[in-house]
Amino acid sequence: MKILIVNLVLVFTITQAHTAPIPKPPNPNVKSYVLMDYDSGMIIASKNPELVLPPASITKIMTSYIAFLELDNDTLSMNDVVTVSKKAWKTGGSKMFIEVGKKIKVSDLLQGIITSSGNDASVALSEHISGDEETFSIYMNQVAANMGLKNTNYVNSTGLPNDKLYTSAEDIAVLSRNLIRDFPKMYKLYSRTEYVFNDIKQYSRNKLLYVDDSVDGIKTGFTKKAGYCLVSSAKRGNRRLIAVVMGAKSPDQRTTVSKSLLEYGFRFYETHKIYEIEDIVTKARIFDGEKREIELGVSESAYISIPRRSIKKIKSRFVVDENLTAPIQKGENVGYISVELADKVITKINLYTREDVKLGSAYRRTLDSILKNF
């Protein structure tokens, strides 16, 4: 496939007399971390982002995602009653203290999973959704594959230690972004710091919820092998960031590192919307069609996250299939936008056709077959 590259330089008049430098991102003594901008999905800072690690209770983000998916599809209800199995009741680790044989509402189980990280609740809900935890794990891996998680494998709904259970900080950030984007109303459950079940008040282990009003989630995790982990998200104004910290030495360290990452991202980076979904971003030559050009655009509003006060230095290149040939349908991916800063590609945004173009007349096709050779 030949491609046509069109350079587009966003030209501005620079009036700033001084531009403060951007410091390097934090380099904490943890195994891995990722700081992601929510709107663009771009990674602002990272350390070993693809390192495969045990996720501990971070696993429950996927458990709740699947529950939200079932609720959204009306195949599960918050008022559904779940009978607690012996397996769920006996599951070790953190608990919400449900008892074997008792009937518990899905709404209570979900809050037990999210706030108190109940392993018993995770097993009970997974059994209710899929019949058994093993089948639920297959479901988890199918969803992970659909999200494009590259370094993740699930074998249980809890995060309890297993050599075949693993993920990466980058995958967790992608999962968390999907959770917030796909289920914004249900995501609010993650902002609760406490709840009462069976006359027992239980508290979230995410200390950032208590010290930073902009933080509204997401999940802690700990096993001896995984260390202390924390996935956090904060929204300030119109911006949201996601921080994933894995393999910290203590609960305080995971909190301190997560807060420093969020502060770094909010202070030194900016998020800009560069294309709207309805924009005609560019046009491309099309052969053998009833018209000579086709309109191209993006599939959703496109954002970039860049160092502060650097928007005037952004350049864009359109990379488009040079041999676009009719017939072609609306919504086909025919190229991408390469967004560059300081001669480095910072992100690529797919370009899609915005219209159908039918096959042209015999005369048009004959003329274009000649032009193709030149």
Asked which of 248, 269, 290 is the last residue of a domain, the reply is 269
Number of independent structural domains in the chain: 2
Question: Is the domain of 91 the same as that of 220?
Answer: yes
Q: Report the percent of the chain where pLDDT is more than 70.
A: 94
* Residue 18 domain flag: no
Handedness of CA 49, 246, 26, 193 (dihedral sign): positive
- Six token digits for residue 234: 């904060």
Question: Is the domain of 100 the same as that of 217?
Answer: yes
Question: Is the domain of 357 the same as that of 260?
Answer: no
Residues 334 and 353 sit within 8 Å (Cβ to Cβ): yes
Residue for token digits 């971003």? 281
**What pLDDT shows up at residue 14?**
35
Question: Is the domain of 245 the same as that of 290?
Answer: no
Inter-residue long-range contacts of 104-110, CB under 8 Å, 24+ positions, other chains counted: 105/78, 105/79, 105/80, 105/81, 106/67, 106/76, 106/77, 106/78, 106/79, 106/80, 106/81, 106/82, 107/78, 107/79, 108/197, 109/82, 110/64, 110/67, 110/78, 110/189
Question: Is the domain of 282 the same as that of 264?
Answer: no
Question: Is the domain of 77 the same as that of 212?
Answer: yes
**Among the options 32, 40, 46, 57, which is catalytic?**
57
- Provide the pairing of β-strand 314-321 with 269-275: unpaired
Q: Using 50, 70 and 90 to split pLDDT, how confident is the model at 199?
A: confident
**Cα 139–Cα 145–Cα 148 angle in degrees, nearest 5:** 145
Integer Cα distance of 33 and 85 in angstroms? 37
- Six token digits for residue 194: 């406490």
User: Does the annotation mark 204 as catalytic?
Assistant: no
Of the listed ranges 269-273, 345-349, 358-362, the least confidently predicted one is 358-362
* Residue 181 domain flag: yes
E strand or H helix at 294, and its extent?
A: strand 293-297
**What pLDDT shows up at residue 16?**
40
Question: Is the domain of 256 the same as that of 280?
Answer: no
User: Mean pLDDT throughout 138-162?
Assistant: 98
User: Does the annotation mark 117 as catalytic?
Assistant: yes
Q: What are phi and psi of 48, to 5 degrees?
A: 50, 55
Q: Using 50, 70 and 90 to split pLDDT, how confident is the model at 370?
A: confident
* Residue 118 domain flag: yes
Q: What are phi and psi of 181, to 5 degrees?
A: -70, -45
- Six token digits for residue 296: 């191209």
* Residue 305 domain flag: yes
309: left (phi over 0), alpha (psi -120 to 50) or beta: left
**Among the options 46, 117, 130, 232, which is catalytic?**
117
Sheet strand arrangement including 344-353: 3-9, 314-321, 333-341, 344-353, 293-297, 282-285
**What pLDDT shows up at residue 13?**
32
**Per-residue pLDDT reduced to its tens digit, 225-248:** 999 999 999 999 999 999 999 999
166: left (phi over 0), alpha (psi -120 to 50) or beta: beta
Question: Is the domain of 256 the same as that of 290?
Answer: no
* Residue 167 domain flag: yes
User: Mean pLDDT throughout 341-357?
Assistant: 95
Q: Read out DSSP for 352-372?
A: EE-S-B-B--HHHHHHHHHHH
Q: Using 50, 70 and 90 to split pLDDT, how confident is the model at 305?
A: very high
- Provide the pairing of β-strand 43-47 with 314-321: unpaired
Question: Is the domain of 51 the same as that of 190?
Answer: yes
Integer Cα distance of 154 and 347 in angstroms? 29
Residues 360 and 290 sit within 8 Å (Cβ to Cβ): yes
**pLDDT of residue 311 exceeding 50:** yes
**Among the options 31, 47, 60, 207, which is catalytic?**
60
User: Mean pLDDT throughout 339-345?
Assistant: 94
Handedness of CA 26, 30, 32, 35 (dihedral sign): negative
**Per-residue pLDDT reduced to its tens digit, 105-139:** 999 999 999 999 999 999 999 999 999 999 999 99
**Per-residue pLDDT reduced to its tens digit, 68-118:** 999 999 999 999 999 999 999 999 999 999 999 999 999 999 999 999 999
User: Does the annotation mark 130 as catalytic?
Assistant: no
Domain limits for position 176:
32-269
Q: Residue 189 in 3-state DSSP? A: helix
Which DSSP symbol is given to 26? Answer: P
Asked which of 269, 293, 320 is the last residue of a domain, the reply is 269
Integer Cα distance of 172 and 164 in angstroms? 17
Q: What is the CATH number of the domain that holds 336?
A: 2.60.410.10
